[in-house]
Each structure stands twice: as C-alpha cells, then as structure tokens.
Amino acid sequence: MKKSSIILSVAVLATLGLGISGCAVKTGNETLGKMEKSQLEQGIVKGKSTKEDVKAMLGDPDKTDFDNNSLEKWSYVHVRMDAKAVNYIPVVNWFVAGTNNTTKTLIVVFDDKGIVKNYINSDAKGETKGGLFQ
C-alpha cells in the first residue's frame, strides 16, 4: 500500500507539472498576437487603408510617434512568454530556468492625409534565462 501511494503521488505531481508547463504570459495587443502575417497583408493596403481602417482592425496603437519626415507612425506590439518545463522541477529550477518568448511587432507609417504609406511586420523569437548557472 505504501509503495502504491508513493507511485500515485509521483504520477499526480508529474501530471500537474506537465499541465503547468503550458502556462504563458501575454502582453500588448492581443489582436495582433492572434493574427497571421497574411491577415495583416490583406487588412492593411499601402496607399488605400486609412488610420480608421487600421484602428478598426487592431484598436488603439501601443505607441504613436513621428518619423524623420514628420509622418505619423503607429506601433503595435504583442509578446508571449512561455515558461520552460524545467521551471517546475524542484531544486533544478534553482540552477536553470527561463521562458521562450515570441514578439510580434507592427509599425505603420501614414502620409499627411492619414493613408497608409508603408508598414512593416516582424516576428522575433528569443528567450530569458535565469538561475545560478545562467
């Protein structure tokens, strides 16, 4: 009986650990985070789409600015951080831990009439590292 309860406890902890390892932290524009590059290309058309079109599709920008030519520039960012499975292994996580990160960025430049002049969309992958051996 004692041996079977230990095995059951280990199985339950392992299952919980696998379930927890799927946790993610998301920040920024959630709509951008869910969109594929092809959806952005269909929704934002250079020389045609307006500020209102972009705002209807993505909401308010995370940042507004002006470029060197005094044209208005809107920036949207979405970051997803997925915890590494090793974070949930007792004692091991003292030495090695971190997250796998995906950052989506969209920058839209408008002409003086509020029409999209240009835009750039990028996806970047990275990681954060923590623990005594990092």
Under 8 Å between Cβ of 90 and 108: no
> CA triplet 63, 130, 86: central angle to 5 degrees?
110
3-state class (DSSP) for residue 27:
strand
pLDDT value of position 7: 54
Q: Kindly tell me if the per-residue pLDDT of 3 is higher than 90.
A: no
| DSSP 8-state symbol, 32 | H
3-state class (DSSP) for residue 25:
strand
Percent of the chain with pLDDT over 90: 62
Query: Model-level pTM?
Result: 0.75
The end-to-end CA distance of the chain, in Å, is 42
